[in-house]
Amino acid sequence: MSSENDLLSAAERKAALARLDGWSESEGRDAITKRFRFTDFSESFGFMARVALVSEKSDHHPEWFNVYNKVDVTLSTHEAGGVTRKDIALAEAMEAIAATA
């Protein structure tokens, strides 16, 4: 039985990225990435605050960079050395949060 910390197979990753709007594989590393755009800084910071709560609860934290209305996110499970189900679950949570921003 596979664990949420097991690396995704190429087929699993491809299927996950097909369902995640705007997410892609990162260049030069085993990670996925997306740039979220919001109307202003307040909206982007609110998104980050809500994601932080989900991240803490799941003990899985994004790499991210924020400038004004943009939040660049990279997800990879460092303990596993690449993309796992934990990354996909966090990406899905981010999508849901962004949809309500």
Q: Which of 61, 72, 92, 95 is catalytic?
A: 61
For residue 68, is it within any domain? yes
Q: Which of 59, 79, 92, 95 is catalytic?
A: 79
Residue 12 catalytic?
no
Assessment of whether the complete model's pTM goes beyond 0.85: yes
Distance CA 45, CA 27 (A): 26
For residue 95, is it within any domain? yes
Residue 87 catalytic?
yes
Distance CA 8, CA 74 (A): 16
The total domain count for the chain is: 1
Average pLDDT over residues 41-61: 96
Class of residue 94 by CB neighbours under 10 A (exposed 0-12, middle 13-18, buried 19+): buried
Query: pLDDT tens digit string along 4-43?
Result: 778 999 899 999 999 999 999 999 999 999 999 999 999 9
Residue 56 catalytic?
yes
Range of the domain at 42: 23-99
Q: Which of 21, 40, 63, 78 is catalytic?
A: 78
Residue 60 catalytic?
yes
CATH of the domain at 93: 3.30.1360.20
Q: Which of 30, 56, 59, 63 is catalytic?
A: 56
**In terms of residues, how long is the chain?**
101
Query: pLDDT tens digit string along 70-100?
Result: 999 999 999 899 999 999 999 999 999 999 8
